């Protein structure tokens, strides 16, 4: 008996597979292999888990004599004392499966798949080699140690359920464009440093970041990869530039012609003020400290004459934070002292956390993240608020949810004196495959979708790119108050465009309201930091009929146009041009009407008393003349206007109707494009779009 197993090929451990005898498998094999190897495993089933008992490696070499295939068999039979995964070999553990190992491992290959590799020995287990493991569960009451000459990379998930893990500084938490490896709830101890990675996409943008480790080495040696000049790229694909000096490497900064800083701390003693870090060659990372970084791509670029930035992975080496973490107004990572003050903190764990589970004392239920994907006029990103009581983010197109990723920093707002925010291992997100249920479960905790009215502002005249500049939302529930409360998120201003809800002279990104009083309610928008250019305002309504709204209209006070919104599930897009009049203005608001008499599908509705039955037909496209055909009771007063998409009035006519008729509007002198025809009949407003060819 040889007490080791060498995996020189790959095999898949599948929960639905059956144990088999490799000798009979070979005898019954009709396959032909050409200089290849296959590996079979004896396994026994133990409560839905497969426990490795022994491994057989079969190598087949095809030779041909007299037209027949002859196979040479090499068999290695091992027990579970030692497992060697050879270079380029891999074990694939299928979803729902677990491979339990009770001895030592030398992993020079890969353990892949959605299942888990579990170390379950009772004596110390050693991990050697240079390889990767997707999901590793350590449940050894004694200890597991990574070898001094080893380097193991966790691709997805690591959990310490018992015992002690000694990393020997040779454990990497991998990050790439699709995933960031995480460390689940720790029951035990982790000694030694780990290398925590954070992937940043190829875009020049701001990021709110933290390093989820307590590092004894400098920021320069971590995020700048210890480069010795602004042209040095020690490890391609890793690190970035951090600027702040004209002289290269002075105080650790990459020198630039302007000396403009790119890494900042938030000063809680000032209002919305950023302070550049003093240096990067002395200062080091503490888990939970938040930073704002202007990311200029990886270090392959020329910082003084940059081309399009490339993606990069930022690395930081240090010890992991384990157990409870508390931030107050007096901790080094400080919260705002006074009510409505903001403070910047970081996720202290190398794991995504569930904001809804975090304990907050005199802290609002909203956190504010920076989404670098959002596209304002400078294309650097924008703030997005998430509120745990409404269960929504202020920007419906953003990926910001109640899940705060590892390596992310964010703002919180103090609501009363003596604020505190407490994190615990139970706040971590646990993948479903672990068969471990945290207090928050394995999926995000969010309230049911509430009736809401959301707003998105886009640069340009359309919303087809699905990348907005900013957003805001109103949610309705009888549990909410119309006064400022925890369901409301005060706006954190963007450097670029902003859209807010103006409620009782408070600028809100998210507002919680009670039911709609159609006779008096309205939602006043406020848009600011707009440039003189084209924009698109998108308004989406969901289930407002359940909270008292029968009709809703977006009103453009500049043009006098009212755009009807389907209160059940409606969305409208209103292109407009920002001018000196509309910049920093309350140009748009939403009003509600109480009548529930729906009109004939022409885009508006009104009561039977005030709005006679009408039929309006507007042709489109047109070239020289718009012929508007109408049918309504005789002697009905109405008006017709032709408007450009920026609200400019091009044609107006007041009409006293016959029972049927036609109104002609000449358009031959107007440029090709989209125009609006507005018909006002009593308190009903009908809007039709036309295309001028």
- Alpha carbons 470 and 596: distance in angstroms, whole number: 32
- With pLDDT > 90 as the criterion, what percentage of the chain qualifies? 55
Taken in order 524, 530, 534, 539, is the CA torsion positive or negative? Answer: negative
Q: List beta partners, residue 640.
A: 653, 679
What pLDDT is recorded for position 350? 97
What pLDDT is recorded for position 603? 34
- Alpha carbons 673 and 652: distance in angstroms, whole number: 19
Q: Which residue has the tokens 């997707």?
A: 134
What pLDDT is recorded for position 386? 98
In the structure encoding, which two tokens stand for residue 344, read together? 């910047």
In the structure encoding, which two tokens stand for residue 162, read together? 């018992």
In the structure encoding, which two tokens stand for residue 439, read together? 């207090």
DSSP secondary structure string for all residues of 623-671: SSEEEEEEE--TT-EEEEEEEETT--EEEEEEEE--SEEEEEEE-TTSP
- Alpha carbons 297 and 307: distance in angstroms, whole number: 10
CA-nearest of 388, 389, 480 to 427 is: 388
Q: Which residues contact 483 (CB under 8 A, 6 or more apart)?
A: 504
My answer on whether omega of the bond before 621 falls inside 30° of 0, hence cis, is yes
What pLDDT is recorded for position 272? 58
Convert the pLDDT of each residue in 587-636 to its tens digit: 999 999 744 333 333 333 333 334 455 667 788 888 888 888 887 888 88
**Angle subtended at Cα 193 by Cα 367 and Cα 95, rounded to the nearest 5 degrees:** 70
- Alpha carbons 689 and 618: distance in angstroms, whole number: 9
CA atoms within 13 A on the CB side of 340: 10
User: Model's pTM, two decimal places?
Assistant: 0.78
- Contact at 8 Å (CB) between 605 and 595? yes
Three-state DSSP at 148 gives coil
CA-nearest of 529, 545, 527, 552 to 537 is: 527
Convert the pLDDT of each residue in 406-464 to its tens digit: 999 999 999 999 999 999 999 999 876 554 433 333 443 444 679 999 999 999 877 76
Low-confidence residues of the chain: pLDDT under 50: 1-80, 435-447, 584, 594-611
DSSP secondary-structure letter at 545?
G
- The separation between CA 110 and the C-alpha centre of its own chain, rounded to angstroms, equals 29
What pLDDT is recorded for position 70? 34
- Alpha carbons 601 and 347: distance in angstroms, whole number: 51
Please provide the size of the chain in residues: 693
Which domains, and CATH codes, for the chain?
Answer: 5-174 (no CATH), 202-435 (no CATH), 452-593 (no CATH), 615-692 (2.60.40.3080)
Consecutive H or E run containing 118: strand 116-119
CA-nearest of 65, 149, 67, 81 to 121 is: 81
């Amino acid at each position: 008996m040889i007490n080791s197993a060498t995996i020189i090929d790959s095999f898949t451990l599948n929960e639905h597979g059956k144990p088999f005898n490799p000798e009979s498998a070979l005898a019954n094999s009709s396959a032909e292999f050409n200089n290849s190897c296959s590996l079979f495993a004896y396994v026994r089933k133990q409560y839905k888990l497969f426990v490795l008992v022994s491994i057989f490696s079969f190598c087949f070499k095809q030779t041909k004599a007299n037209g027949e295939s002859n196979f040479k068999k090499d068999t290695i039979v091992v027990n579970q004392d030692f497992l060697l995964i050879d270079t380029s070999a891999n074990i694939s553990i299928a979803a729902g499966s677990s491979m339990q190992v009770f001895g030592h491992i030398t992993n020079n290959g890969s353990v892949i798949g959605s299942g888990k590799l579990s170390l379950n020995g009772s004596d110390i287990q050693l991990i050697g080699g240079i390889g990767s493991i997707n999901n590793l569960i350590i449940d050894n009451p004694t200890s597991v140690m990574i070898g001094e000459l080893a380097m193991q990379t966790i691709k997805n998930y690591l959990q310490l359920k018992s015992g002690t893990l000694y990393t020997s500084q040779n454990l990497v938490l991998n990050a790439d464009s699709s995933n960031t490896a995480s460390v689940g709830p720790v029951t035990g101890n982790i000694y030694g440093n780990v290398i925590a990675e954070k992937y940043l996409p190829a875009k020049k943008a701001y990021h709110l970041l933290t390093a989820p480790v307590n590092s004894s080495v400098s920021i320069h040696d971590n995020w700048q990869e210890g480069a010795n000049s602004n042209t040095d790229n020690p490890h391609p694909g890793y690190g970035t530039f951090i600027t702040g000096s004209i002289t290269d490497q002075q105080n650790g900064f990459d020198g630039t012609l302007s000396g403009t800083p790119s890494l900042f701390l938030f000063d809680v003693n000032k209002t919305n003020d950023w302070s550049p870090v003093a240096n990067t060659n002395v200062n080091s990372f503490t888990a939970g400290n938040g930073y704002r970084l202007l990311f200029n791509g990886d270090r392959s670029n020329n910082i003084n004459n940059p081309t399009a930035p490339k993606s990069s992975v930022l690395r930081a080496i240090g010890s992991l934070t384990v157990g409870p973490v508390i931030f107050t107004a007096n901790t080094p990572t400080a919260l705002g002292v006074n009510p409505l003050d903001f403070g910047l903190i970081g996720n202290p764990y190398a794991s995504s956390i569930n904001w809804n589970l975090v304990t907050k004392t005199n802290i609002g239920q909203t956190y504010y993240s920076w989404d670098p994907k959002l596209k304002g006029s400078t294309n650097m990103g924008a703030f997005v608020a998430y509120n745990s009581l409404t269960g929504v983010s202020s920007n419906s197109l953003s990926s910001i949810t109640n899940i705060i990723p590892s390596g992310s920093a964010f703002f919180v707002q103090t609501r009363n004196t003596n604020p505190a925010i407490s994190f615990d291992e139970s706040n971590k997100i646990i993948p479903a495959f672990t068969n471990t249920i945290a207090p928050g479960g394995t999926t995000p905790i969010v309230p049911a979708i509430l009736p809401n009215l959301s707003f998105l502002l886009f640069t340009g005249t359309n919303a087809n790119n699905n990348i907005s500049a900013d957003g805001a939302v109103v949610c309705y529930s009888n549990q909410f108050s119309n006064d400022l409360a925890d369901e409301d998120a005060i706006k954190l201003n963007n450097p670029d465009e902003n859209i807010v809800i103006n409620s009782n002279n408070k600028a809100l990104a998210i507002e919680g309201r009670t039911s709609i009083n159609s006779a008096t309610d309205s939602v006043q928008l406020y848009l600011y930091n707009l440039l003189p250019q084209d924009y698109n305002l998108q308004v989406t309504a969901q289930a407002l009929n359940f909270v008292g709204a029968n009709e809703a209209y977006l009103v453009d006070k500049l043009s006098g146009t009212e755009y009807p919104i389907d209160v059940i599930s409606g969305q409208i897009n209103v292109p407009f041009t920002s001018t000196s009049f509309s910049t920093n203005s309350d140009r748009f608001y939403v009003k509600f009407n109480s009548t529930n008499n729906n009109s004939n599908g022409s885009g508006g509705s009104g009561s039977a008393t005030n709005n006679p039955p009408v039929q309006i037909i507007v042709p489109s496209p047109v070239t020289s003349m718009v012929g508007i055909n109408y049918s309504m009771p005789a002697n009905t007063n109405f008006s017709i206007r032709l408007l450009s998409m920026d609200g400019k009035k091009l044609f107006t006519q007041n009409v006293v109707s016959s029972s049927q008729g036609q109104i002609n509007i000449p358009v031959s002198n107007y440029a090709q494009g989209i125009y609006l025809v507005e018909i006002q009949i009593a308190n009903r407003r009908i809007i039709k779009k036309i295309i001028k060819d």
